[in-house]
Amino acid sequence: MNVAIVGAGPAGLYLAILLRKLDRGADVRVLERNAPDATFGFGVVFSEETLGALRDADPETHLEITDTFARWDRIDIRYQGRELTSRGHSFSAIARKRLLEILQERCRELGVVLEFGVEVEQLPESDLVVGADGANSLVRRFGDFGTKVGLEGSKYVWFGTDHVFDAFTFAFRETEHGLFNAHAYPYDERMSTFIVECPEPVWRSAGLDEMDEQESLAFCEQLFANELRGRELFSNRSLWLDFPKITNRTWHDGNVVILGDAAHTAHFSIGSGTKLAMEDSISLAAALARRRWDLEAAFVDYELEREPYVERTQDAASESAAYFGRIASYSHLEPIQFAFNLLTRSGRITHATLGVRDPSFTRTLDSWFGGRPVSPPPAFSPFDLRGVRFENRFELVESAVAVSEEGRTFPEEIARPEGKLLLRLTHAGRRGATQPRSRGVDLPLAVGWPVVAPTKRPYGPFGAIPGEPDEEAALDAFVAAAGNARAEVLEIDMAHGYLLGSYLSPLTNDEDDRLRFPLRVLEAVRAAWEGPLAVRLSVTDWHPRGNQIEDGIAIARALREHGCDLIHVEAGQTIHDDRPQYRRGYLTALSDRVRNEARVPTLVGGYLTTLDEANTVVGAGRADLVLLDLPDTEIERPIQPSNTVLLGEVRA
C-alpha cells in the first residue's frame, strides 16, 4: 500500500503515524509545501474528550503532547470593567509548533517519509491520496467533492503574546468605532494565543483596512494594553482575515480522501479546528484497519462516523461566529447575564450542564436574577409587566378569539385554561373560513364566508380571493373585543399572515407605509385596555422577498414605541409557501435579537420542551417569558397482568 498525504499539519502527520502503526509494510509519504519549522498561528486547544482519543490512538505522542500542555479549567470574561469567572471547563492547549515537532519526530521514528518544500501540482500517483492541506486545499481541486465556501463571523487577526493568561479569556473593549473583543488562552509556560475580532464596519471605521501589519499590531496592543499587562503582541504573518466556512458534499472521490480543514472548518471562536482534524485522522485510520485497506468501504465508514459530529460542531461554531458578530447589541446586559449569554451562545452549554460544571456560577446567576441570595433558577423567577405579576416565566397560557365573525378561521369555542391567560385578539384575514385544524390547516370550508386582506391573492391552494378589508369595521371590532376581554395579558395578532400580519409584509401589501393600519389598531386597543398588551409578530417571513429579521426588529421597535409591552416572537406563515427552518427552539435566536436589539420584552415558544431550555433562554436574556410545549410523557402506567401469565396460573 502506497500512501501520499498532502499537508504536514496535525491531521496529516497524525494520520501518517497511525497508518504506519497499522501497517509497517505501507509506504507513507507526507508532502508539505512549507519548511519543517514554518507554522502559522500560535497555540491550539484540545478538550478532555479529544485527549482520551489521542491516548488510545497513540500513547507515545499523547505522553509527549500532554507533557508540554498548558491546562486550565477557567473561563474569564472581562467586560465593562468587571471580570467574571466560570470554572470546570477543562481546557488544554499546546504550541502548534511544538505539536508539529512531536508529530514529525514520531513520523521519522516510524519510517514515514517527510518531504518539505514540495508544491503539489498534480495528484501524486499513489494507491491512496489524502488531502490534509487545509482550508485552501489544492487536493480538493483534483476531485469532485461538492465544496462550498462561505464567510462567517467578523474580521479577526491571530497574534501571540508573552503575557501568560491563566484562563481562557474573553475581553471586550468599547471604542469610538465600536466594540472589539479578544479571545486569549495560554499554550505553554511562556506564551498565549491572542485573537482580536471586530465586525467589519468597526474595522473600517478604525482604519484597520488601511493599516499595515505593524500598525494594526500596535493598534491592538494599545487597545488591549490592560489585558496584556503591558506585554507585547507578536505577529506571525498576522493579517486581518475573514473566516471561511467550508463544507463538502462528500469527503472522498475515487482513491482521494480529505480531512481536517480541507473537509470542514469550524469558526475559531469555539476552538475546535485542530481537534476535529486529529479526530478525523483517528477515525479514518480505524476505518482503514477495520476494512483491511478496502478504500471505498473505509471512506464510507469514516464519513458515516464523522459527519454527524462535524455537522453539530459546525452548527455550534456558526452560532458562536454570529454571536460575536452582533456582540454590541448585548452591551446593555448586566455583566453576569452577559457572561451567561456568552457561555451558552452556541447551544452546547445550558443552564443545567453549566450547573454541573460550575454550580457557583449558576447560583450567582440565579441569585442575581431572582434578587435574593438563594434563588430558584431563572424560569422560576417572578416577572412584572405593567402591574401584573407572573410568579414564573412559563405559567402563561394562550388562547385566541376572533374579533368578528368575518375574522374567524372556523367556528370555534374557547375554553378558559388554567393559569395566567394571554388572550389573543385575532382576525384571520385571508386565512379565514377554513376547516378545523384537527383535519389540516388552511383547508377552505365548502361553504365559507368572504375573506379580506390587503392583497388579492388567496392564502393557499383553493383559497378564496380576498376582498378589500373594511378597516374601520375591523378597527372597531378589535377595540370592542379589547373592551370585553377578561385576561391577564391581551395580545393583538400580527403574525402568521392573519389580517394585521398581512399588512406588515411586502409579500402581501404593496402599500409604502405597511405599519399604518396595524399601528392604528395597536393605539386604539392600547387606549381601550389598561393591562399588559402584547403583539404576536412574525419577525421574519422566511422568504427572500419578505421581511427579514432586521425588518422584524424595526417593526418590534415601532410597536414598542406605540404602546406594546411584550413581543410574542413568531416567524413565517405570512404566505403558505415560505421556507421555514424548523428545529427545537428555532424561535429562540430570533427572540434574542428582537429583545436585545429592539429592547422590548419578549415571549417565545418554538417547541421548547424542557425547563432547562426555559432557564437557559430566560437566564441568558433571550426572552422574558416562554411558552413550553410539554410532550405527553408516560413515565407511569398501570401494570396489566398479561394473558399468558394468567393462563399459566390457571393451569397451575
Partner 1 sequence: MTSRITSQSVKLSAEVNIGVGLPTTVPGAKGDLLLEWARRADAGPFSSVGVLDRVVYDSYEPFTALAAAAGVTERVRLATMIAIGPLRSTALLAKQAASVHGLSGGRLTLGLAVGARTEDFDAAGVEHKGRGKRLGEQLAYIRGNVDGDRVGPSRDGIEILVGGLSGPAYSRMARYADGYAHNGGPPRAFANAAGRALAAWSDLGRPGKPKLWGQGYFAFGDIAQGDAYLRDYYAFTGPFAEKIAAGNLTSARAIKDYVRGYEEAGCDELVLFPTTAEIDELERLQEALA
Interaction site with partner 1 (CB under 8 A): 249-250, 252-253, 296-297, 299-301, 303-304, 308, 435, 437-444, 446, 460-462, 542, 572-573, 576-584, 586, 605-607, 629, 631-632, 634-637, 639-642, 645-646, 648-649, 652
Amino acid in the structure at residue 69 = F
Tell me whether residue 257 or residue 522 sits nearer to partner 1 (CB atom): 257
Dihedral angle sign, alpha carbons of residues 140, 141, 147, 149: positive
Tell me how far, at minimum, the Cβ of 248 lies from partner 1, in Å: 10
Phi, psi of 245 (to 5 degrees): -90, 115
User: Is the separation of the CB atoms in 309 and 262 below 8 Å?
Assistant: no
Cα 475 to Cα 64: distance, rounded to the nearest angstrom: 75
- Known catalytic membership, residue 582: no
Cα 430 to Cα 413: distance, rounded to the nearest angstrom: 20
Cα 479 to Cα 561: distance, rounded to the nearest angstrom: 19
| Dihedral Cα 189, 195, 196, 199, nearest 10 deg | -160
Cα 634 to Cα 329: distance, rounded to the nearest angstrom: 42
The SS3 assignment for 210 reads: helix
What the block records as the C-alpha cell of 440 is 389540516
Beta strands in 177-327 (DSSP E): 178-186, 192-198, 233-234, 241-248, 252-253, 256-258
Tell me how far, at minimum, the Cβ of 128 lies from partner 1, in Å: 17
Tell me how far, at minimum, the Cβ of 424 lies from partner 1, in Å: 11
How far lies 4's CA from each of 108, 126, 145, 381, in Å? 15, 6, 18, 60
Cα 501 to Cα 538: distance, rounded to the nearest angstrom: 7
Cα 652 to Cα 649: distance, rounded to the nearest angstrom: 5
The SS3 assignment for 471 reads: helix
Tell me how far, at minimum, the Cβ of 492 lies from partner 1, in Å: 17
Tell me whether residue 142 or residue 170 sits nearer to partner 1 (CB atom): 142
Cα 595 to Cα 603: distance, rounded to the nearest angstrom: 9
Tell me whether residue 206 or residue 495 sits nearer to partner 1 (CB atom): 495
**Closest by Cα among 450, 443, 370, 351 to 407:** 450
Tell me whether residue 35 or residue 652 sits nearer to partner 1 (CB atom): 652
Tell me how far, at minimum, the Cβ of 495 lies from partner 1, in Å: 11
Tell me whether residue 273 or residue 572 sits nearer to partner 1 (CB atom): 572
User: Is the separation of the CB atoms in 175 and 198 below 8 Å?
Assistant: no
Neighbour count for residue 399 (Cβ, 10 Å): 14
Catalytic hit among 14, 498, 582, 607: 498
- Look at the block and give the residue holding cell 475546535: 272
Tell me whether residue 196 or residue 246 sits nearer to partner 1 (CB atom): 246
How far lies 457's CA from each of 128, 463, 509, in Å? 58, 9, 11
Cα 474 to Cα 468: distance, rounded to the nearest angstrom: 11
Q: How far is CA 212 from the centre of its chain?
A: 33
Tell me whether residue 465 or residue 473 sits nearer to partner 1 (CB atom): 465
The SS3 assignment for 526 reads: helix
Neighbour count for residue 434 (Cβ, 10 Å): 22
Neighbour count for residue 166 (Cβ, 10 Å): 12
Tell me whether residue 345 or residue 543 sits nearer to partner 1 (CB atom): 543
Phi, psi of 66 (to 5 degrees): -70, -20
Tell me whether residue 116 or residue 586 sits nearer to partner 1 (CB atom): 586
Tell me how far, at minimum, the Cβ of 304 lies from partner 1, in Å: 6
Tell me how far, at minimum, the Cβ of 591 lies from partner 1, in Å: 14
Cα 571 to Cα 580: distance, rounded to the nearest angstrom: 8
| Dihedral Cα 157, 161, 165, 170, nearest 10 deg | -20
Cα 164 to Cα 186: distance, rounded to the nearest angstrom: 6
How far lies 133's CA from each of 263, 285, 497, in Å? 10, 17, 49
Give catalytic residue positions. 498
